[in-house]
Structure 1
């Protein structure tokens, strides 16, 4: 089985990984055939973005392990029209990681960069190094200067500090485990995700890329170099200055160009937003939990683009941008409030609709149906597929979120975990479409993605603009009819029942199961039925 290593660096990397997990949960075919190895790297040990992403990965992993213990994607027939499964890719953890997190952090509180490098102890033979550092960094006693920055919450937008720290990453056993696990002959892939305008990502991407290329010369690697798409409010005396983001990004891009790093990559993706979303000021730690942003979703699309064999084989240094064919401006009114621009599924190019959004829509239908009809008890069990799955015996426990004893009833546990994922998915959707909060003086996303409204019936849950805007298609460009309308008659239940037979889960009598694992049967017919609905639109 091929392996996909996803190095998520810093807060931006973690949030992109969150959106990528949604595509994995939707069973986007680009990821079929891969075992997924997320590796979260963040010097900010208390970052809430990290905690949230880690928890979502664990939720995904639980569902996958229950549903596909005996039916992994590799065991499915080659001609299966289902083209995968919800939660179908196995998610694995590298040896030594702690819930997908590499414990790369200061290890103690109030650790300054000065103390980390032993600046005050540089005497004798190290005087010349001491003098060099004095010429490179501000050595005054101000707490916001580089040498005096508290590293407990990361590098605060200072890649010149982070790059020094990141050079120690290759000393970790977990990194060695990655190098020994990677297998070029199996067509393994590596994707490095981080921002160019902050501290952690900007410093981590070049150091990690160079080290991987050194240790694995024939590595198949891509990088998502994410440019400014959000900007913390300007705070007097704050260590993070959003006004410097553009200059830092230009400096980073200039370095990549001169150093030749990008030529060691099969693909480099440039993604950003010229109208950044204004967010509350935060230097990291427990306060850093940013809303999902369309740029992060588009970054996840970049990973699907790379894994879906859209990059020319045998070539290096390919660069891509993903953008609109016309400029959609996010305006600011006289009061300083951001007037965000709402984007919809129909604003994407046909390739993205066919390869990604179709499956995301089927997944949304599935979660809605499971939550309202199955768990919500809208079905007549004796006349549906649920009678054959013996759902009536576990219905009460599922509705009361009572897991089976020692995991003996896998279908019961699966239905509970799947219902839990509804909240994970809908929260993510609402953040992508965040409209701000005037009472709390929080700005909306400068660009908002409006996909699904879970408050509506399945037939009407796809979001559509009230007035059709001028044609605008998001599409990949190399540097150098959708699922649009709702149906008034969407009925998934008959399809679930017919797919029990059509997908050969029943014997000839139609009363007994051919497939023993009911948890797999449920996921299989749910995916097939919802895709059938989408394909008919």
Structure 2
């Protein structure tokens, strides 16, 4: 398997990558040796982008603590450009983003407007109004792809982009995530694709990149924004911008091997924030389905995608759910349910056991063998795992649960036996003949401990949790509703 360089442009790109990280944490199979997420957002303080970067760093730490495996929670390797390229000059940022703008830089300063000839100034004044020219780029392009298309050209000159080219090897793939109804995504996607496919590029790795397999996800409107006099963004223009961008894509978007389209007819209105720390949109089912498009793209063989044409994809639920405000397992196709149903359920069982019960399970043999009483609150690995569940996984599930359209796969509160939303209580166990609860799960872990625990490491702990929750699923949960 080869690497996937995953470009997430703007807030939508960041949120789709967040959903992908959750699926990988659950152990959903991803057909790549490494995922290299690259977040592109001129708004470095964007709340959605910052949350995703923090999640990726946490995932990376947890994966490093348990090492490479063929299966299990957090099995897929997430890497930064520093990880895949030896940065001898020390110019690369240590995170997952492309920093390429100075703080508080205005569009006028970026294009050196005041030093241009009078004729050039007149032309730019005709194309860009005074408010647009004097607008700071600190929080992005505020829904203006015409500005974004100019500014984003600069990112291809950054040390990060050059290192990406050096780290790219034949057989690696590229996937680009963007929305089509804003500013950053709508402008950044075609610009990146043109740069990747250019036969005139001279940066390192340009040849391999020009001949590589490239896929993309284009997200059409799936949410709205409240009207605000303090914001330059008006969600009433989203459809108009989408139509204009689609027309441009039709005639100018060349060189894609696969293109995925997503949208939703239910548009919940979020707080209208131009950017910065306040821009924290709720997780949405469209973003989770977007993450599935990345997994689907990687499952295609090169021969299936390299036929000189673009393969187009859309996604449909099992039943007509246009008027359904709450999506459960029963609305998902069999393919989707088979892919994510068991992994996400196992991770949910693990999360509940870890956060609600594990510290009280000290009398059980598996707990004693792993010496968890002295590790849970002291070792960095377990602290990171606690942070993942409490600060990322549970909030992500709750945001999906409370959104319109809502994704409600699990009961977020209540007993373990009522975990599956819309399903019957998990049936009595085969061994202990008692209802499924934390004590039942402790028994599974205890029975498995002698065949799994070798050196009392985090790897042993995670393998025990994975196999134990898998046994619970196989014996007591199937089939999903």
TM-score relative to the length of structure 1: 0.78
Question: 1:300-311 counterparts in 2 under 5 A?
Answer: 300-309=291-300
- Match for residue 493 of structure 1 among 435, 442, 465: 442
Structure 1 position 418 matched with structure 2 position 381: no
- Match for residue 341 of structure 2 among 345, 357, 360: 357
Which residue of the partner structure matches residue 441 of structure 1?
none
Which residue of the partner structure matches residue 178 of structure 1?
164
For 1:136 and 1:23, how far apart are their aligned partners in 2?
44
Structure 1 position 462 matched with structure 2 position 420: yes
Query: Residue 324 of structure 1: SS of its match in structure 2?
Result: coil
Change (3 A) 1:152 1:313: closer
Which residue of the partner structure matches residue 347 of structure 1?
331
- The alpha carbon displacement at 1:341 in A equals 0.7
Aligned partners of 2:328 and 2:407 also within 8 Å: yes
- The alpha carbon displacement at 1:190 in A equals 1.4
Query: Residue 215 of structure 2: SS of its match in structure 1?
Result: strand
Change (3 A) 1:310 1:373: farther
Runs of 4+ in 1 over 6 A off after TM superposition: none
- Match for residue 461 of structure 2 among 522, 526, 535: 522
For 1:14 and 1:260, how far apart are their aligned partners in 2?
23
Which residue of the partner structure matches residue 480 of structure 1?
none
Aligned partners of 2:370 and 2:456 also within 8 Å: no
For 2:51 and 2:230, how far apart are their aligned partners in 1?
29
Change (3 A) 1:486 1:265: farther
- The alpha carbon displacement at 1:420 in A equals 2.4
For 2:194 and 2:32, how far apart are their aligned partners in 1?
27
Question: 1:67-78 counterparts in 2 under 5 A?
Answer: 67-68=66-67, 72-73=68-69, 76=70
Question: 1:324-339 counterparts in 2 under 5 A?
Answer: 324=317, 326-329=319-322
Aligned partners of 1:460 and 1:487 also within 8 Å: no
Aligned partners of 1:229 and 1:275 also within 8 Å: yes
Aligned partners of 1:32 and 1:89 also within 8 Å: no
- The alpha carbon displacement at 1:287 in A equals 1.4
Q: Deviations over 1:488-537 (max 9, x none)?
A: 43332233233334xx43xxxxxxx6x33521111112111212222332
Aligned partners of 2:46 and 2:277 also within 8 Å: yes
- The alpha carbon displacement at 1:182 in A equals 1.4
Question: 1:390-429 counterparts in 2 under 5 A?
Answer: 390-392=371-373, 394=374, 398=376, 401-403=377-379, 413-423=380-390, 424-429=392-397
Instruction: Flag structure 2 segments of 5+ consecutive residues without an equivalent.
Output: 83-91, 199-205, 429-434
For 1:310 and 1:464, how far apart are their aligned partners in 2?
37
Structure 1 position 151 matched with structure 2 position 140: no
Cα RMSD after superposing both structures: 2.2
Which residue of the partner structure matches residue 531 of structure 1?
470
Which residue of the partner structure matches residue 202 of structure 2?
none
Structure 1 position 115 matched with structure 2 position 109: yes
Q: Deviations over 1:62-93 (max 9, x none)?
A: 1111112xxx12xx5xxxxxxx1101112211
Number of residues paired by the alignment? 446
Structure 1 position 371 matched with structure 2 position 361: no
Query: Residue 223 of structure 1: SS of its match in structure 2?
Result: strand
For 2:119 and 2:371, how far apart are their aligned partners in 1?
76
Aligned partners of 1:41 and 1:104 also within 8 Å: no
Aligned partners of 1:368 and 1:454 also within 8 Å: no
Query: Residue 313 of structure 2: SS of its match in structure 1?
Result: strand
Aligned partners of 2:8 and 2:176 also within 8 Å: yes
Aligned partners of 1:373 and 1:379 also within 8 Å: no
Instruction: Flag structure 1 segments of 5+ consecutive residues without an equivalent.
Output: 77-83, 331-339, 404-412, 435-444, 466-483, 506-512
Aligned partners of 1:367 and 1:418 also within 8 Å: no
Aligned partners of 1:67 and 1:414 also within 8 Å: no
TM-score relative to the length of structure 2: 0.87
Query: Residue 236 of structure 2: SS of its match in structure 1?
Result: helix
Question: 1:190-229 counterparts in 2 under 5 A?
Answer: 190-214=174-198, 215=206, 216-229=209-222
Aligned partners of 2:318 and 2:332 also within 8 Å: no
Which residue of the partner structure matches residue 314 of structure 2?
321
